[in-house]
Amino acid sequence: MIDFIQMIVSGVASGSIYALMGLAMVIIYKTSEVPNFAQGEMALISSYIAMMLLTTMNMSASMAFFLSFVFAAILGAFLEFAIFRRAKEPNVLGMIVITIGIEMILLGFVSWKFGAEQKVMPFPIDPYDGFIIGGIYISKLDTLTLVCALFFMAVLYLFFKFSKLGLAMKATQQNSVAAQIVGIRTNMIMMVTWGISSLVGATAGFLIAPTLMHPFMMWDPMLKGFAAAVMGGMTSLPGAVIAAYLLGVIENLFGGYVSIEFKTVVAFVCIVIVLCIRPSGLFARHYVKKV
């Protein structure tokens, strides 16, 4: 029984990382209807910037992470302004290809600048420090990750539901031309959206880096975050978070009781099953456009 509960707890810890990546992807999709496959590498380069500030420049942790968050937000806004806005007559497939291209560019830059070997990023919380409750080990870093995921979900949900900027983002996603007619500056909205998304994704990178830091560290979290976003509904913030925790728990139980070798494919099996039953995901409404 203790082993079962321990696998559940570990699954929730993994799900928290997936939730942060899923939230980052949903934020952009809610505005542009384009999945951003460069999300992981945007978080990757922000994490390496944080490590550089902590190790090379000997900054305090609070200042280094603050500046890294600022860098992440600026990076997201810059990519939207300099690349996506310049695309001529873009369609969804073209935009997806652009995000994959940016992913490869950022990955190549990190490998060239910082090297491909594994590194260790200093972090205020020891990644291997934790506490035991009833025979169940709980990592302090995993607890912080869970708190961050739930915090961002709550803040973003309230932001999209009640703030003027959040409503403008939703209006831009539903009909950008109509949004422009009523006075919404859609270009600015898109730039802000990318900045916020990059900041949320960077949080996941900062929380992964203390235990695993190399140029490919964000591939698996990004793919699992995308899987969670699709499973929960690409327009539903709570749906992406709930699905992320479901995926984390399911893959851990599968790895513990069935096969550890096939643990990584469980998320994508779940996507296929869910989309066959609910094409828009578990928690999103299915809209049919009439032309």
Domain count, the chain: 1
Name the pLDDT band for 284 (thresholds 50, 70, 90). Answer: low
Mean pLDDT of the chain: 85
Q: Hey, what are 220's tokens?
A: 């698996």
Residue 285 lies in a domain: no
Of 227, 215, 222, nearest to 201 by C-alpha is 222
- Strands annotated E in 37-162: 130-133, 136-139
Taking the C-alpha atoms of residue 244 and residue 246, their distance in angstroms, rounded to an integer, is 5
Residue 111 lies in a domain: yes
Residues 46, 47, 49: CA angle, nearest 5 degrees: 65
Lowest pLDDT segment from 40-49, 238-247, 255-264: 255-264
Q: For residue 137, report the phi and psi dihedrals to the nearest 5 degrees.
A: -85, 130
**Domain CATH number, residue 248:** 1.10.3470
The letter for the amino acid at 263 is: K
Residue 14 has pLDDT above 50, yes or no: yes
Domain holding 197, by residue range, is 2-277
Residue 290 lies in a domain: no
Of 262, 266, 252, nearest to 16 by C-alpha is 252
Taking the C-alpha atoms of residue 196 and residue 201, their distance in angstroms, rounded to an integer, is 9
CA 262 to chain centre: 23
Residue 172 lies in a domain: yes
Q: Hey, what are 171's tokens?
A: 């209006």
Residue 287 has pLDDT above 70, yes or no: no
Residue 76 lies in a domain: yes
User: What pTM was estimated for this model as a whole?
Assistant: 0.90
Rounded to whole angstroms, what are the CA distances from 63 to 51, 83, 236?
12, 29, 33
pLDDT of amino acid 212:
81
Residue 291 lies in a domain: no
Residues 158 and 150 sit within 8 Å (Cβ to Cβ): no
Name the pLDDT band for 291 (thresholds 50, 70, 90). Answer: very low
Residue 63 lies in a domain: yes
